[in-house]
């Protein structure tokens, strides 16, 4: 039994949390004589982060960032389109990190033939995902949504119309034109979202748009929610704190998918977090090595290592007055947990003891050369940040 004392909680005045085994058993209770007392030193005790949509199981980076559960995208080698692969992926982070695989919506993620969604759910898949790409064939997407709805699975979608994006690596505009980069109009996102919302309405399926990054996209999400449709969306810190200006020096660490947007769209993203349109903040963790990034910008692979910086960057939203601390941990833990059908993401009696002790004011500097991730390709390299995980507990067991 463990008693966390002298702590602050994101959404409660309690200063003590009692854990027995893998569960929280009480807040503000009398401490048993045989309990291990952990003095939090007045720091923040928060629910462990549930990261919805990582591309790699990266234990050291997850532990540093306070991530206790990670929803793994199906874009693996081979893609997660088979029950056996789902089972193997689910064990890949144990015993320290719980990995929740997302089933490939189509075989090989080719957008053509449906994968065995029911069998993969039975094998442990927590949702269905289209992977890095949009399913262009509307008939196929209709079938994906229909079957996912029948199996009570959320469909996690990448929203960019491939007919418009093609080989683009940037958002169409002054920056892409000046740099001579292949680009696509930002409306590619809204077109994809509009079609998938229409199909969701026809099927009753739940859709989670993994990253929405444009003003037009957020307006469509707001309208769908106003109609009562089961639509949710997420975003990563890169699109909240960086715009297309970050690619001006051809720095491939800022080559992302979707690409960085205009400053106006970035502010629209902050507004969407502020007004509740955004449901999840995730890392989009996608570490890429030198073989993928030390190339001309247009030839490099999109993606960034985000697990280690997720919490520190997201805390800026609280410091800047965009949202309050309780709302932040809804976005980082409670909401993604609910979307995946997990019992976690909260500090309450009976909840899993997935906890992080955080010093929200601890300063440190992001350094791509010292990151614990498989590769340190972060567009926030050398940025001073605040907020560090001091201790991490998974099911009551300390793993950091």
Instruction: Give the model confidence (pLDDT) of 249-268 as tens digits.
Output: 899 999 999 999 999 999 99
- Two tokens, residue 375: 């590769």
Contacts 24+ apart (CB under 8 A), 225-228: 225/277, 227/201
Answer with the residue of higher pLDDT: 221 or 12: 221
Percent of the chain residues past pLDDT 90, beyond the cut = 95
Answer with the residue of higher pLDDT: 375 or 145: 145
Give the pLDDT confidence score for residue 64 in this predicted structure: 96
Q: Domains plus CATH for the chain?
A: 49-343+360-386 (3.20.20.140)
pLDDT in tens, 268-279: 999 999 999 999
Give the pLDDT confidence score for residue 93 in this predicted structure: 86
119-134: average pLDDT: 97
Q: Assess whether pLDDT exceeds 90 at residue 400.
A: no
| Mean pLDDT score of the chain | 96
How confident is residue 396, by pLDDT bands cut at 50, 70 and 90?
very high
How confident is residue 224, by pLDDT bands cut at 50, 70 and 90?
very high
188-201: average pLDDT: 98
Q: Assess whether pLDDT exceeds 80 at residue 74.
A: yes
Pairwise CA distance, residues 207 & 201, whole Å: 10
- Two tokens, residue 63: 């532990």
Q: 0.85 cut: is pTM over it?
A: yes
Q: Assess whether pLDDT exceeds 80 at residue 33.
A: yes
How confident is residue 319, by pLDDT bands cut at 50, 70 and 90?
very high
């Amino acid at each position: 039994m463990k008693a966390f004392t002298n702590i602050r909680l994101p959404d409660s005045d309690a200063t003590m949390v009692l854990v027995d085994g893998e569960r929280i058993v009480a807040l503000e209770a009398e401490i048993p004589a045989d309990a291990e007392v952990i003095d939090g030193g007045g720091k923040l005790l928060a629910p462990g982060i549930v990261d919805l949509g990582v591309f790699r199981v990266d234990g050291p980076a997850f532990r540093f960032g306070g991530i206790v559960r990670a929803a793994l995208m199906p874009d693996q080698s081979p893609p997660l389109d088979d029950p056996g692969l789902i089972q193997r992926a689910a064990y890949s982070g144990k015993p320290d990190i719980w990995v929740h695989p997302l089933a490939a919506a189509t075989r090989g993620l080719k957008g053509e033939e449906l994968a065995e969604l029911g069998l993969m759910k039975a094998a442990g898949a927590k949702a269905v995902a289209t992977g890095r790409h949009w399913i262009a064939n509307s008939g196929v997407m209709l079938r994906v949504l229909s079957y996912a709805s029948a199996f009570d699975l959320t469909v996690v979608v990448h929203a960019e119309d491939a007919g418009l994006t093609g080989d683009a690596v940037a958002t169409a505009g002054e920056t892409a034109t000046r740099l001579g980069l292949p680009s696509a109009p930002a409306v590619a996102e809204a077109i994809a979202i509009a079609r998938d919302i229409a199909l969701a309405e026809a099927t009753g399926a739940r859709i989670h748009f993994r990253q929405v990054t444009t003003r037009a996209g957020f307006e469509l999400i707001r309208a769908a929610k106003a109609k009562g449709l089961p639509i949710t969306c997420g975003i990563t810190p890169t699109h909240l704190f960086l715009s297309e200006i970050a690619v001006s020096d051809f720095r491939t660490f800022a080559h992302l998918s979707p690409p960085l947007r205009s400053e106006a769209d970035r502010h629209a993203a902050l507004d969407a977090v502020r007004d509740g349109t955004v449901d999840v903040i995730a890392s989009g963790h996608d570490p890429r090595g030198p073989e993928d990034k030390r190339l001309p910008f247009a030839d490099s692979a999109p993606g960034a290592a985000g697990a280690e910086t997720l919490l520190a960057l997201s805390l800026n939203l609280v410091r800047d007055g965009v949202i309050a601390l309780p709302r932040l941990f809804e976005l980082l833990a409670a909401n993604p947990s609910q979307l995946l059908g997990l019992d976690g993401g909260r500090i309450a009696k009976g909840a899993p003891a997935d906890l992080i002790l955080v010093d929200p004011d601890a300063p440190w500097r992001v350094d791509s050369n010292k990151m614990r991730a498989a590769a340190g390709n972060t567009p926030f390299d050398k940025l001073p940040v605040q907020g560090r995980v001091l201790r991490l507990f998974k099911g009551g067991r300390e793993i950091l």
